[in-house]
Amino acid sequence: MNSPRTTLYRDKSNAKLMGVCSGIADYTGVDAFWVRLGFLGLTFMTGGSTIPFYFLAGLLLNKKPAHLYSEPAEQKYWQGVRQNPKRTAREIRSRMKDIDRRLADVETFYVSNNPRLTAEIERLR
């Protein structure tokens, strides 16, 4: 089952015609201008055979829910998940290790400068 944040939608808020190109742009994280330009180039190269696929996608794809992303950072995160889930997982793991290291530094500083807390921790062992 796909998460609503990893599904391709039509983006009517940034649409020029039906919102297919802006939906692809939102899904991939590429600027909508470049997606539209690529679609236009592909249309000319194939003699217009991509136009029916555009309208078919416009009819079949759901509209993007307004509440899908609460902030731009969340949108960027989900675009990264869709592009490369393994890389996103590595980045999150790296951030968590960094947070854990910084927390250990804070604990070490606090415990080493507080003999009463050190004695209490030793008493609990």
What pTM does this model have? 0.59
- Alpha-carbon span 44 to 83, nearest angstrom: 27
Alpha helices in 1-124 (DSSP H): 20-28, 32-45, 51-60, 72-83, 85-112, 115-124
Predicted confidence (pLDDT) per residue in 30-53, tens digit: 888 999 999 999 999 999 888 999
125 residues of the chain, pLDDT tens digit each: 466 666 778 877 777 888 898 888 888 878 889 999 999 999 999 998 889 999 998 889 888 777 777 788 877 777 777 777 788 888 889 999 999 999 988 888 776 777 787 788 788 87
